[in-house]
Amino acid sequence: MKQSIFKRLFITYGITIILGFGILALVLMKLFSQYFIDSKKDLLLEYGEKITQEIAVGLYAGMLDRQTLNEDLRILDKFLDARIWIIDKEGTIFGVSGDKEEKYLGQKVDAGALGILYRGRNIIETGNFGGKFKEPVLTVGYPIFYNNEFEGGVLVHASMPGIQKSIRDIYNMTVLAIIFSGLLAYGILYFQIKRISGPLSEISKAAKIISGGEFQKRLKIETGDEIEELAKSFNDMAESLEKIEENRRNFIANISHDLRSPMTSIKGFVGGIMDGTIPPEMQGHYLNIVMEECQRLIKMTNELLELNNIQQGKVEVNKTNFELNEMLRRKLINFEKDITRKNIDVMLTFYDDSTIVHADKSMMERIVTNLLDNAVKFTEEKGYIYLRTREEKNKVIVEITNTCTNMDDNKMKSMWERFHKGDESRGIYKSGFGLGLSIVKEMIILQGEQIWADRLEGAIRFSFTIDKGK
């Protein structure tokens, strides 16, 4: 069973958070424990030294009596939360910090501890201090020297359970803080993952709908991040697929129409000849019509194959230098018959007497032929065609303008599509298939040039670029 992305992310990041906070808790507890013990040790050392210097030395110098000493020790006992003993040079305890410690009066400390103090060294140890205590303590001891003579020492004992209780309190606070932080992180994680997985789930569902052929599906996701960009890209893809589907349907409808018409004519005329409906003296005439229709079918097939080869990158570009003006004159002369028949005015303007360009000559001839054929075909009688060239930086721009009164924005957008015909009824210009401008555009793009159309007042202008010759 497949897991949702929400579940996978939640589990993965959840485990990461638990491990991260767990390791953090262990490290913090270890640091706090060590820090608290070290702080307690430093505090005992600091006050042990003060007791040694101020109280014990005052006692041996005769400036402090034992009653005052015991009162001072009681105060320090409460402040440090530690037991304080004063021992003489024999190791006998003669001063304690509290009533509960009076039982230790007169007892002797361990000879080992006394030896350390006798050598002028401090005692820092944990344990029950030679069996004196039932529970472990942290002991700090300072030697007392008076007139360079060893007179005893000061021992400060802090209960380890007490220290550990304080550490446990810190542990508990740390654990509570980490649990609260973890829950907060989990809450934020939940909403963040939901914010990510929700739109992704919508995109997945929309993709399944589109894969089923419903290309009208669109997403409305506003997250202000890459997911919103993905949704926009998805919508763009859906629009492209919808357009492709629409073009496919139009392609099938158009090609069916363009095939059915000549095939119907061919079938009708051939059937009429075979069954004798068409008399022998008229058969030659109708066979010529059949031949013309066959030529139309062959032309359409060739143009489709040509367009397909260009779009699949099977056509190579062979750029050479050639004279543009002469090529434009020759192509214009090829349409002299139709121009004369429709009484069209033709104007020809070149920015220079000789224009050398660098392009694929055969493709450029095909481009100019298609554009001029389009111009002559859709120019009304007594209209005009204006062909001119102009220079712009390192480019030559060729412009073909012709009168055209029925061009709107929708036609401008769709004129480059396959099988689009200016005559939407497909009845006036039967010789065309709506492939000419599609082939022109693909050939221009293949050569790395640009082509565009502008709607003028009562006219349309096609412009395309060509590299200057070197």
Same domain, 280 and 375: no
End-of-domain residue from the set 263, 279, 311? 311
Range of the domain at 247: 226-311
Judge whether 463 lies within some domain: yes
Same domain, 160 and 73: yes
Whole-number Å distance between alpha carbons of 404 and 454 = 11
Which CATH number is 69's domain given?
3.30.450.20
pLDDT of residue 419: 53
Same domain, 367 and 293: no
Distant-in-sequence contacts of 199-203, Cβ < 8 A, 24+ apart: 199/223, 199/227, 199/228, 199/230, 199/231, 200/5, 200/227, 201/4, 201/5, 201/6, 202/231, 203/230, 203/231, 203/234
pTM confidence score: 0.47
End-of-domain residue from the set 289, 311, 333? 311
Whole-number Å distance between alpha carbons of 136 and 129 = 8
3-state secondary structure of 171: helix
Judge whether 66 lies within some domain: yes
Same domain, 288 and 367: no
Cα angle 69, 74, 80 (rounded to 5 degrees) comes to 120
Same domain, 378 and 454: yes
Judge whether 380 lies within some domain: yes
In order along its 470 residues, the chain shows pLDDT tens digits of 345 666 666 677 777 777 777 777 777 767 766 666 677 667 776 766 777 666 666 666 666 666 666 676 777 777 667 778 888 888 888 877 776 777 888 888 888 887 888 888 888 787 877 777 777 878 888 888 877 788 888 888 777 766 666 667 777 777 777 777 777 877 777 777 667 666 777 777 777 777 777 777 777 777 666 677 777 887 888 777 777 777 677 667 666 766 777 788 888 888 888 888 888 888 888 888 888 888 877 877 776 777 677 767 777 888 999 999 999 999 999 999 999 999 999 999 999 989 999 999 988 998 999 899 989 988 889 999 999 999 998 899 999 999 987 776 667 766 766 555 554 444 444 444 467 788 888 888 888 999 998 888 889 999 999 999 87
pLDDT of residue 425: 45
pLDDT of residue 53: 65
Q: How far is CA 456 from CA 15, 94, 256, in A?
A: 68, 118, 34
Which CATH number is 370's domain given?
3.30.565.10
Domain count, the chain: 3
Same domain, 343 and 451: yes
Same domain, 157 and 245: no
Same domain, 325 and 307: no
pLDDT of residue 162: 63
Pairing mode, if any, of strands 451-456 and 459-468? Answer: antiparallel
Judge whether 269 lies within some domain: yes
End-of-domain residue from the set 165, 192, 214? 165
Query: Position of tokens 């009596």?
Result: 65
Tokens of 370: 């298609």
